[in-house]
Structure 1
């Protein structure tokens, strides 16, 4: 029994050594220490890579054009007759400007006024735009500028529903006709500038006027209403130079500060043109700028007409 156990132990050790009989593995770090880098590693990667391969053209497959089938001219003409032609243009996106009073209604060109002109707040600028008619304005317009266009006619419906309009400037147009009721719907109108036009008759104006400029027109005395300016209690500036007026349009409101009538056809003055002969103490303190030069008028012959003025009018003596 003792020999058998000893023998078995020896056999076990033998088998164990046979299973691990390979040479012991050395530490990898030891191998790296013994490695000759210069001899065993080639670190020149750029020399090892062939870049010429990148210059080779790539042959992409070409698509062969397919021939269109021939169409008989008679068949093509017949097909066009049967198939209605439709427009290939994309439909434009139309905006609903009815809900945007800022843009106003569409003009005769089919576009909103504020795309044709420039709208800033309550001011609408349509200067030098080749307009032949005044475009429909937004309801909140306070100042309208349509200078240097080709407008000829101001209609009675032009300024309808513009209750906030305070100023109109149409300098440098071809206006020769103004409907009698053109400015009647404007209760807040204060400035009307129609200089450098062909106006022959001045229609009814609201009593809210502060400035009227009709210089360089063809306005005649017979083309104005009698006492047209009398009820304008806020009128301060009246420019009527370079027209065909025969006399000073009286009576003038006491608020008037500037009156320009040069280069007309005025030949005489009445004693009550500026003053009141029935009231010797009457004074007109505001009227300080009167221009009568360029008229066939000798101003020194009418000294009694200036007795209520703080400054004599400018004119020939």
Structure 2
């Protein structure tokens, strides 16, 4: 009995010794309110910044058989950088919307159901490009057109109505179309026209052109001895380049304006030049300084027989001297 009491007493002492001291626990309870205040403050700060510049992660599941390559998952910063680069890329030029043509629609072998000109051709500001589209006539053009290109098509005729009221049109290029007929006033009513290129066609008669011309290229046609009107270039005070190569022409179309710099008339049938072809026989001091490029090679003419015809030129024409 005494032994049991001793054991019970030892057990009670052990329990009392193992229990925490009251003042320490009380201190923890006393500081709880202050800690709670700091925690609330920290939570407020966390709530303010929560979600700012942080990626939103969507949690899902993957098939256990799917291979995962971490390199395929770009970070948010990389994605944002790619988006910025995409926005900074230069804007590609866009075609002018349909309806650029003033009136009418284009009908031809390549026009599907009357497609508007700029839906078939390429329109960039005032330039219209209709190259190699199998067109059989000139499409309707806007009044704002300044440059028109319709090379390598199948246009056979140029009518007066094709370029009517195009007061800003400066350049027309109809190279290699098979054109055989041009209305005489098809180009004359274009006050701003400066450059006309009609190479590689079947033209037999060069139409009347405005005095504003600076370049005329009618090479590789069929003008012959009557295809150029008399004094056709006389009033073109700003004409710089005249190309009439391969046309079976038998004479030089004089008078030529003093502004002319280049005359290509090779591979024709010219047999003779006269004293007034380039020079002024009444003024021996006259010099035509601008005309530095004259091509007469490929013609049945001997330049050495008529030196007085080109003595006023800064350079001897290219051609046979024997």
Normalising by the smaller structure, the TM-score range is 0.5 to 0.7
Superposed, 1:126-205 pairs within 5 Å as 126-205=130-209
1:229 aligns with 2:233: yes
Aligned residue number for residue 100 of structure 2 = 102
Aligned pair partner of 1:311 in 295, 304, 315:
315
Instruction: Give me the whole-angstrom Cα distance separating, in 2, the residues matched to 1:102 and 1:289.
Output: 41
Mapped to 1, the partners of 2:134 and 2:206 lie a distance apart of 24
Alignment of 1:271 onto 2:275? yes
User: Structure 1, residues 178-237: CA drift from partner, whole Å, max 9, x if none?
Assistant: 011100220110000000111110010000000000111111231211100010000000
Contact map agreement 2:98 2:119 (CA 8 A) in 1: no
Question: Residues of 1 paired with 2:237 and 2:198: CA distance?
Answer: 21
Check whether the contact 2:98–2:118 (CA below 8 A) recurs between aligned residues. no
- Secondary structure of residue in 2 paired with 1:158: helix
Q: Any runs of at least 4 consecutive aligned residues in structure 1 with deviations exceeding 6 A, and if so which?
A: none
List aligned pairs for 1:84-103, cutoff 5 A: 102-103=100-101
> Residue 274 of structure 1: CA displacement?
0.2
Structure 2 unaligned blocks of 5 or more: 1-96
Q: Deviations over 1:10-35 (max 9, x none)?
A: xxxxxxxxxxxxxxxxxxxxxxxxxx
- The structure number with the bigger radius of gyration is 1
Other-structure match for 1:214: 218
State the TM-score, normalizing by the size of structure 1: 0.67
Gaps of 5+ in 1: 1-98
Instruction: Output the CA distance in 2 between the equivalents of 1:314 and 1:279.
Output: 24
Q: Distance in 2 between matches of 1:221 and 1:154?
A: 22
- Asked if the contact 1:104/1:113 (under 8 Å) is kept, the reply is no
Counterpart of 2:216 in 1: which secondary structure? strand
| CA distance in structure 2 between the aligned counterparts of 1:125 and 1:191, rounded to whole angstroms | 16
Residue 289 of structure 1 corresponds to: 293
Equivalent residue, structure 2, for 1:260? 264
Contact 1:103 1:115 in 2 (8 A): no
Q: C-alpha distance in 2, partners of 1:213/1:302?
A: 27
Question: Are the counterparts in 1 of residues 224 and 248 from structure 2 also a CA contact under 8 Å?
Answer: yes
**CA distance, structure 2, for counterparts of residue 265 and residue 297 of structure 1:** 8
Match of 2:255 among 251, 258, 265: 251
- CA root-mean-square deviation: 1.3
SS at match of 2:309: helix
State the distance in 2 between where 1:103 and 1:265 align: 43
> Are the aligned partners of 2:170 and 2:194 in contact in 1 as well (CA < 8 Å)?
yes
Question: Post-superposition shift, 1:100?
Answer: 7.6
Q: How much does 1:298 deviate?
A: 0.6
Contact persistence 1:221–1:249 (CA under 8 A):
no
Task: Provide the C-alpha distance between the structure 2 equivalents of 1:167 and 1:188, rounded to a whole number of angstroms.
Answer: 9
Q: Secondary structure at the match of 1:172?
A: coil
1:104 CA drift (Å) = 3.5
| Number of residue equivalences | 219
